[in-house]
Homo-oligomer: A and B are copies of this chain.
């Protein structure tokens, strides 16, 4: 059985042909154009290319799954608002069905990525997984008892907008002190910049001559070089990250919690300290059966694989 998965991004439309076990048999990527019709055309092109790379035809697939950023209405297959894509109230699922002749479902991109990790990545062989992605924001998705969990109106798992510092940093969502404002790459960059402004002697300035040069790696590199200011930034970052992770574990107790996104590429340099803090913070820290915390395994393919399998796991 074959399924097509599409990961819609502001820059590229990535497509893959996937089997029921989440194996990616062929993938392709085309630039994402502007305009709803052009985007639907690009999705169809990418899908055909991915099928061809797998030595198959699009018509051999059972369905198409679309992972979209922004806010969506999965029941009607409509992208409500996707700023990055310039889409506003677009019935994208129907438009793709018209072009490919296959039933098409729409899902939030963080949910799709979680499903991909569940089926073919960090969650393989388990019954539940929460996937957290540290990027511009903090995205998250969950598979609970073997099913994609989205909340009753498909807007759940907005864990990035869980407040951990009430009254703290202003968040894009309108709340103050959201986890995302601290634990995203953006949050880490902001913390590094704040530290640089109060510490003109920090080695952070050598790696980033201006504040605009700071990225998600800068603090890790400076700390590895022995800079105490960068280390303090990272220590606080890990505390904030773990605060939200421990909150999720205490509430959801998934078998696996995987962390993805740019920051997670630090691997054990990040996960080592994270596990040490969780050993102190988790409610069931003394239990023999604890949530396994690890890095995401599929990288950018998680969205394609998960999108393809949404019709199976929704």
- Count, chain A residues at interface, CB 8 A: 44
A281 within 8 A of B: yes
Task: Determine whether the beta carbon of A283 is less than 8 Å from that of B173.
Answer: yes
User: Which chain A residues have a beta carbon within 8 Å of chain B's beta carbons?
Assistant: 127-128, 144-145, 147, 149-153, 155-159, 161-166, 173-175, 239-240, 243, 246-248, 250-255, 280-281, 283-284, 287, 289-291
Q: Which of A128, A144, A246, A252 has the most CB of B within 10 A?
A: A252
The smallest beta-carbon distance between A179 and chain B, in angstroms, is 9
Query: Provided the pairs A166-B239, A166-B243, A175-B281 are in contact, do residues A156 and B251 lie with their beta carbons within 8 angstroms?
Result: yes
CA gap between A106 and B173 in the complex, in Å: 41
Residue on B nearest A252 in the bound complex, by CB: B156
Task: Determine whether the beta carbon of B253 is less than 8 Å from that of A159.
Answer: no
Task: Determine whether the beta carbon of A151 is less than 8 Å from that of B254.
Answer: yes
Task: Determine whether the beta carbon of B164 is less than 8 Å from that of A163.
Answer: yes
CA gap between A52 and B289 in the complex, in Å: 42
Task: Determine whether the beta carbon of B165 is less than 8 Å from that of A280.
Answer: no
CA gap between A122 and B36 in the complex, in Å: 43
Task: Determine whether the beta carbon of A128 is less than 8 Å from that of B152.
Answer: yes
Task: Determine whether the beta carbon of A250 is less than 8 Å from that of B159.
Answer: yes
CB-CB < 8 A to A254: which residues of B? 151-152
A163 in complex: contacting residue of B247, B253, B289, B290, CB < 8 Å: B247
Query: Provided the pairs A144-B144, A158-B251, A166-B239 are in contact, do residues A289 and B127 lie with their beta carbons within 8 angstroms?
Result: no
CB-CB < 8 A to A149: which residues of B? 144
Task: Determine whether the beta carbon of B283 is less than 8 Å from that of A151.
Answer: no
CA gap between A68 and B250 in the complex, in Å: 19
Q: Which 10 pairs show the lowest CB-CB distances between chains A and B?
A: A151-B253, A156-B253, A153-B289, A162-B247, A158-B250, A152-B255, A158-B283, A155-B284, A161-B250, A161-B283
CA gap between A168 and B150 in the complex, in Å: 31
The smallest beta-carbon distance between A313 and chain B, in angstroms, is 13
Task: Determine whether the beta carbon of A165 is less than 8 Å from that of B162.
Answer: no
CA gap between A163 and B164 in the complex, in Å: 6
CB-CB < 8 A to A173: which residues of B? 283
